[in-house]
Copies of this chain bind each other. A is one copy, B any other.
């Protein structure tokens, strides 16, 4: 890319490192950024730096948040005895968009995958078991993805929890097999929630 000067090449290179951003898109974005006002560029770059610096895990449910406890864990109006286990914060957001689930969450930050070498110790599973010991919990709803890894994780978690006597459920397979929660329409998500069965 020696037809662009150093600073522009560097910007294009950095942008093309983002997922789904190819060379052409990175180029278009770079020139868009150069045409933005100074203030707009500072807002954009500032939002990245600030989010990266201030966003951490909620100390209870491990979703990404900028406070000690996330807004959902702090919300007294929600049923704190019903915990939905999801793989990541985007999946949490997908269920929040339905507006119908009033329990709380536990974010695993991954799923068990022997193929990728991700074991039970690499996700926030120990932390879930600790919550079940210290909190009063009526039900654990396992809402991991309907993929091989998600199903494996669901089975593993249900086997861990069963001996404690806490009710464990799995969202219904209204979710298409191989589908990713993040991209599924809200009606299907709700159908899956209503149709959950005891494991």
A residues neighboring B (CB under 8 Å): 2-8, 10-11, 13-15, 17-21, 24-25, 27-34, 36, 38, 40-55, 64-67, 70-72, 88-90, 92-93, 96-97, 182-183
Contact = CB atoms under 8 A, between A and B. Distances in A.
Nearest to A99: B3
B90 A31 contact: yes
A43 B4 CA distance: 19
Contact of A29 (B11, B19, B40): B19
A6 B41 contact: no
Contacts of A52: 33-34, 36, 38, 41
A67 B14 contact: no
Given A14-B44, A71-B5, A51 B66 contact: no
B93 A4 contact: yes
Contact of A8 (B13, B30, B55): B55
